Amino acid sequence: MKVAIPVDDKSMSTSVSQSFGRTPYYLIYDTDSKESVFLDNSAIASQGGAGIKAAQTIVDSNINAIITPQCGENAAEVLKTANIKLYKTINFSVQDNICALNDGKLPVLEDIHPGFHGHGGN
């Protein structure tokens, strides 16, 4: 299974980003091979609809699940249509969240927010 986590930096010591749609990078972790790669998020500079564009990139990268602190409704619609699972982060540590996923202890993300649409957030 390939999992994507929004992260602040391209290193394994980086922390989880607050935003799904406007995160600078995604950490793509393969639970079978235990390998990690980083993916640039081209949606970060979007005027609007960043969540939709970011979710499209995730779908096109054949990701099976997302681990994120939060997710807007438009991005969630794209992800759910593509049958991508949404998990909620337990803290800002990438390692902790991957361990929790491997142990089956990550909660499912249920509180989808209505989106910030140019009005800040975080």
The residue ranges that bind other proteins (CB under 8 A) are 43, 46-50, 52-53, 55-56, 59, 74, 77-78, 81-82, 117
Least separation in angstroms between residue 20's CB and other proteins is: 14
56 or 64, CB closer to other proteins? Answer: 56
Least separation in angstroms between residue 7's CB and other proteins is: 21
Distance of CA 106 to the CA centre of its chain: 14
Least separation in angstroms between residue 26's CB and other proteins is: 17
55 or 71, CB closer to other proteins? Answer: 55
Structure tokens at 15: 């922390």
Query: What contacts 99, CB < 8 A, 6 or more positions away?
Result: none
Query: What contacts 40, CB < 8 A, 6 or more positions away?
Result: 24, 25
Distance of CA 5 to the CA centre of its chain: 4
Q: Residue 19 is which amino acid? A: S
14 or 23, CB closer to other proteins? Answer: 23
67 or 78, CB closer to other proteins? Answer: 78
